[in-house]
Amino acid sequence: MQWSEWKAKLQERSERIVRDCSDLAKRTMKRTSSYIQEHKKLCISVAAGLVVTVAAGASAQYYYTSNITSVYHVIVNGKEIGVVNNPDVIHNWTNSKLEEEKAKNGLTLTLADYITFQEETKYKAPFDNDAAVKALSDIADIKVQAVKIVVDGKAIGYLPDQEAADEVLAHVKEKYSGVPGGNAKKAVVAASTSAVPTNPIKEVTFKEDVEMQTESVAAAQILPAEKLEELLVKGTFQDMKHTVVEGDCIGCIAKKYGITSNDIYANNPGVTENTLLQLGQQLNVTAIRPLVTVQVKEELNQQETVAFTTQINNNEKLPKGETKVLQEGRDGSKMVQYEIVKENGQVVDRKIIKQDVISQPVAKIMERGTKVIPSRGTGRLSWPAQGYISSGFGTRWGRLHKGIDIAGSGSVLAADNGRVTLAGWDGDYGKAIVIDHGNGMQTLYGHLSTINVKVGDVVEQGKKIGVKGSTGDSTGVHLHFEVHQNGRVQNPMRFLK
């Protein structure tokens, strides 16, 4: 029987006795004193009995209360595994287990299971601490509190803590930026204090979305920092195929997939630089691809040349085909600031931020002749050179001397308008020029030291075409000058004005 039930029955009995005594006192009040005295003794006895009964009940209540205890049901992941008299029994075991595992591998561990307690108060409630601990040890899931590296939503690997993750990502950035820790601010300071000029780095970032997330995992999933760094930099093999289309070549395909021609030869036995690709042919273009792309933005300041322009003006007094330089050109210079974007060390973009001219270029100014010189002669010849006639036209040393010799050094000029038909060596004449004047007349200039025209040139009367000399069958510096008309040699003196 429960104490509450027993106490209630005792209370009911006491109240009944009190009522009976009260009724009895009223009925006997008129009786004799001896009778009253007799019943008074009875009431005192009843009261004494009542006192003894109440005392016994209080003692029973104390015993019952002292044996009421609280116990705790241990619930793991929603399922009860045992009962303990104190939650510290479980807490102490888990802390001890985690410290033991930490001592083995140096990692910060956690208990992945979700443990709760449900308290119960009961008379002499049963519990078994040892059984609860053993049940927990059989199912306890000990895991590492790790940092997961995620690239574009894909988990790459786990590191033991945030510090290790930060260090790995900083090393990857440093590999392609050359900046300690991949910190652009440090790069600016380093560039300003370096004795060797370097391009200031504005920004070092990952092109991909790189995240770090905290997660509990099995200790075996933790990677050494150097292994995860290598994975991020070198990536993994991605099996890829390319279908040959019109216009494809090995080099073109390699460039498209960011690999080399040798990679294609290695992946496709039988394919060489001499292989004729077929439409629809499948090529293996598998290559190792990094999992992250380090994007570095640099500033480049360099002095560059500003090329001069050439201004050409027409000169109607200058023969067509001839040019004359009035002003030599001179290059200028400018300072140009570029923003250069590199991805994993390769330049992918280059744009001008600003440019300042240091010195302006000076234009080259030329004149171009537009005067058309007729190739038909006038029929009246001008003297082809200055000097005296050392030998005239006619018989000399037993044979015909076909022209006149004008002695002395100096320039040789075209006797009339015409077109050059010979400009070079001509037997006994040595270096010679022949001009066809287009009117049945031709002139010949022999024994020259220098020729200033070429075959096909149209020359104007009085234009310099060469210099006197003594080439060929000659006894001294002079010009041998001949005139032919309609195929017959003529005395030049008849035509000279």
Domain range annotation of the chain: 3-66, 70-140, 147-234, 237-289, 295-371, 389-494
Q: Is 408 exposed, middle or buried (0-12, 13-18, 19+ CB in 10 A)?
A: middle
Q: Is 86 exposed, middle or buried (0-12, 13-18, 19+ CB in 10 A)?
A: middle
Residue 233 pLDDT: 87
Residue 6 pLDDT: 45
Residue 455 pLDDT: 96
Residue 198 pLDDT: 58
CATH assignment of 389-494?
2.70.70.10
Query: CA 39, 45, 46 angle in degrees (round to 5)?
Result: 90
pTM of the model: 0.47
Residue 54 pLDDT: 42
Residues in the chain predicted with pLDDT less than 50, given as ranges, are 1-3, 6, 32-33, 35-36, 39, 42-44, 46-56, 187-197
Residue 9 pLDDT: 59
Residue 356 pLDDT: 94
Q: Which residues contact 120 (CB under 8 A, 6 or more apart)?
A: 70, 71, 72, 73
CATH class of the 295-371 domain in this structure:
mainly beta
Residue 22 pLDDT: 57
Query: For residue range 433-485, what is the model confidence (pLDDT) as tens digits?
Result: 999 999 999 999 999 999 999 999 999 999 999 999 999 999 899 999 999 99
Residue 348 pLDDT: 83
Distances (CA, A) of 195 to 112, 171, 198: 55, 24, 9
Q: Residue 158, Cα to own-chain centre: how many angstroms?
A: 25
CATH class of the 237-289 domain in this structure:
alpha beta
Residues 320 and 463: their CA atoms lie apart, in Å, by 13
Residue 274 pLDDT: 86
